[in-house]
């Protein structure tokens, strides 16, 4: 099945007495970062497919979506489309049964997303700080 999960947790240092505002801001920040990372993963998966498929029909990549499991955990999935594993190259009908090895678009999207996650978190943190939150 074509899917992967994105999870994000942050660590607060130098904790001081608060009225609960900082905890709410941290929870909102973690949610926004996890959502942005999931969006990045979804976009990378679609981009990889669009660049790989020789005779594209957009049905498969229009079915790729994200689902919130918890505020800091998202699943990026293809809605269980039956030929998803074949396109990825993990299905039972891939090479050596046939000559088609698969596109490995999901695998490449995971690596791309992993490389971008720190920059995504920093960008969102800058946005929060410029709004006077998490300072």
Residue 55: per-residue pLDDT: 86
User: Is residue 96 in some structural domain?
Assistant: yes
User: Is residue 83 in some structural domain?
Assistant: yes
Q: Which domain holds residue 115?
A: 3-9+20-130
User: Is residue 82 in some structural domain?
Assistant: yes
User: Is residue 135 in some structural domain?
Assistant: no
Closest-CA residue to 105 (of 91, 86, 88): 88
Domain count for the chain, please give it: 1
User: Is residue 14 in some structural domain?
Assistant: no
Interacting residues of 70 by C-beta distance below 8 A, sequence separation 6+: none
What is the edge-to-edge ordering of all strands in the sheet holding 3-7? 3-7, 73-77, 65-70
16-48 tens-digit pLDDT: 556 788 889 989 999 999 999 999 999 999 999
User: Is residue 26 in some structural domain?
Assistant: yes
Is-above-0.85 flag for pTM? Answer: yes
Written in H, E and C, the secondary structure of the chain is CCEEEEECCCCCCCCCCCCCHHHHHHHHHHHHHHHHHHHHHHHHHHHHHHHHCCCCCCHHHHCCEEEEEECCEEEEECCCCCCHHHHHCCCCCCCCCCCCCCCCHHHHHHHHHHHHHHHHHHHHHHHHHHCCCCC
Chain length of the chain: 135
97-121 tens-digit pLDDT: 888 899 999 999 999 999 999 999 9
Residue 71: per-residue pLDDT: 92
């Amino acid at each position: 099945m074509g899917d992967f999960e994105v999870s994000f947790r942050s660590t607060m240092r130098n904790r001081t007495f608060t009225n609960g505002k900082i905890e709410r801001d941290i929870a909102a920040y973690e949610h926004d970062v996890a959502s942005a990372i999931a969006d990045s993963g979804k976009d990378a998966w679609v981009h990889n497919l669009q660049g790989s498929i020789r005779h594209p029909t957009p049905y498969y990549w229009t079915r790729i979506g994200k689902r919130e499991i918890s505020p800091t955990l998202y699943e990026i999935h293809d809605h269980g489309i039956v030929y998803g594993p074949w396109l990825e190259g993990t299905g039972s009908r891939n090479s050596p049964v046939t000559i088609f090895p698969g596109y490995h678009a999901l695998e490449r999207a995971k690596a791309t997303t992993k490389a971008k996650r720190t920059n995504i978190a920093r960008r969102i943190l800058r946005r929060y700080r410029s709004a006077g939150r998490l300072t």
